[in-house]
Structure 1
């Protein structure tokens, strides 16, 4: 039983009972605001790092024109494909697969889709994709941490019942009722881990001048290492393989691939020639 069940609830984390506000007829969704804020912050950090490598001002905006929409589409597609029951199973609602404001954006799909969009932008701008990846390696985990706050507003991405003092209160968003127990705030664990990964990548990159995509590989290694244990705490519905969540295996495989890339790839950091890239129209 959780702390709430025993009547002790001195330091629990409260959760909002609503995630939508209305400005007249226009709904303002907290989840969307957090995602947008995360993208903006990640972009600002990426722009600063690109400028330090010789990129022209505004390069990040040019890349984002392709990478952000592709990343959002990829994130949603991966979520729907990996958890299809809510949309195409018995009693599922296929149309709700389009309702991204209700949550359900996968980082794996976001990276795949975003990388595809960034590759297109890189070719148009004449910039190596590895340079874009290394520039994003610090901003991306910071943006992810901000985006995870949207899960708090949606009362989602939480773990098993806990007796820890920072247990999370959960509202049933359909009824507004408060669950009787407290749960691991998994979204907060991941947000804090991501900030630690960002600090690690920044420090190592500053010390060793990583290039050729190795800073991005280090980010992937750090993120997937955390995702391994974080996934094991989650209790939301997900597909499993041999009784283990599929995302645990995904994180393990990607960690190994990123580690191999980080170890095997060598070469000096790429430095761009200061020049105004052709704008993407």
Structure 2
């Protein structure tokens, strides 16, 4: 009886948009917003535990969030350009970000540029800031993946596993019009990102990582999981099958190698953690938050 009870599937939401009067409330947008809020909250806690001022992460988010959204959309449109500029398509829909479509690589790249700009303006050292915010970005990515669930997109190959995801006929791939259940890759990435977050925070507390090594671990662990998750997906992308691998798999491999090389170089050149997180001393009325004497309980 137990196996029969456990055999089930994950339903997809019948609606991804609700209306508060004339105002549409979209599940995709709520997922992204929840991720941004979580990343800022975690980043603030970790930054203050390193000796930074309260509010620095929120100030940098003013730059990072819009840059990241633009970068994520640009990457998606460039890699899936036929969805918007192919025959019979409407290019204006490339601006409809609420329908889904944010490429993580573009979001991270331009989001990081926003952090660089904000950090320079506030005289913040870049590497300790990246180390402080990187784990929270994993949580943001985990929460953001639920937007794919609301939109019934970016799922994996057909499967009849107990945790298979039900997909409505309108959202099924052309190759599988009569197949109802698929791998819930959004859930796999959600769980992977949370597990990677826990591992990175533990390693940071245990070894007091600095000089960009937390950020490097973030890239390494995320791309490691992305390789196997990406190979489960059946959605069509324009840059696909490069040497038998999807373009995003190659991107993950290159970034993993680069991050691993940086981690080794940083460990050899700068063991330990930075003593100061600013490029100049803060003003007297704007001193950094005091460091906690118990880092095991102070960092988020």
TM-score, length-scaled by structure 1: 0.91
Inter-CA distance 9–19: structure 2 relative to 1 (3 Å threshold): farther
How far is 1:111 from its partner? 0.7
Secondary structure of the structure 2 residue equivalent to 1:242: coil
How far is 1:9 from its partner? 9.5
How far is 1:172 from its partner? 4.3
In the alignment of these two chains, the number of paired residues is: 268
1:163-242 to 2 correspondences below 5 Å: 163-172=160-169, 180-238=179-237, 239-240=239-240, 241-242=242-243
Inter-CA distance 183–261: structure 2 relative to 1 (3 Å threshold): same
Secondary structure of the structure 1 residue equivalent to 2:191: helix
Contact 1:16 1:171 in 2 (8 A): no
Contact 1:169 1:179 in 2 (8 A): no
Is the deviation greater in 88-97 or in 108-117?
Answer: 88-97
Contact 2:155 2:185 in 1 (8 A): yes
Unaligned stretches of 5+ residues in structure 2: 288-300
Is the deviation greater in 71-80 or in 163-172?
Answer: 163-172
**Corresponding residue of 2:262:** 261
For the residues of structure 2 that align with 1:91 and 1:249, how far apart are their CA atoms? Answer: 31
1:114-129 to 2 correspondences below 5 Å: 114-129=111-126
For the residues of structure 2 that align with 1:179 and 1:97, how far apart are their CA atoms? Answer: 29
Contact 1:190 1:226 in 2 (8 A): yes
**Corresponding residue of 1:3:** none
Contact 1:131 1:213 in 2 (8 A): yes
For the residues of structure 2 that align with 1:18 and 1:143, how far apart are their CA atoms? Answer: 23
TM-score, length-scaled by structure 2: 0.85
How far is 1:89 from its partner? 1.5
Unaligned stretches of 5+ residues in structure 1: 1-7
For the residues of structure 1 that align with 2:102 and 2:236, how far apart are their CA atoms? Answer: 14
Contact 1:17 1:173 in 2 (8 A): no
**Corresponding residue of 1:95:** 92
**Corresponding residue of 1:111:** 108
Inter-CA distance 222–23: structure 2 relative to 1 (3 Å threshold): same
How far is 1:179 from its partner? 6.1
1:64-83 to 2 correspondences below 5 Å: 64-83=61-80
Contact 1:21 1:29 in 2 (8 A): yes
How far is 1:152 from its partner? 0.5
Task: Deviation per CA, 1:56-91: give whole Å up to 9, x if none.
Answer: 111111100101000010000011111111011222
Contact 2:169 2:180 in 1 (8 A): no
Secondary structure of the structure 2 residue equivalent to 1:203: helix
Secondary structure of the structure 2 residue equivalent to 1:218: helix
For the residues of structure 2 that align with 1:62 and 1:157, how far apart are their CA atoms? Answer: 32
How far is 1:55 from its partner? 1.1
Is the deviation greater in 208-217 or in 88-97?
Answer: 88-97
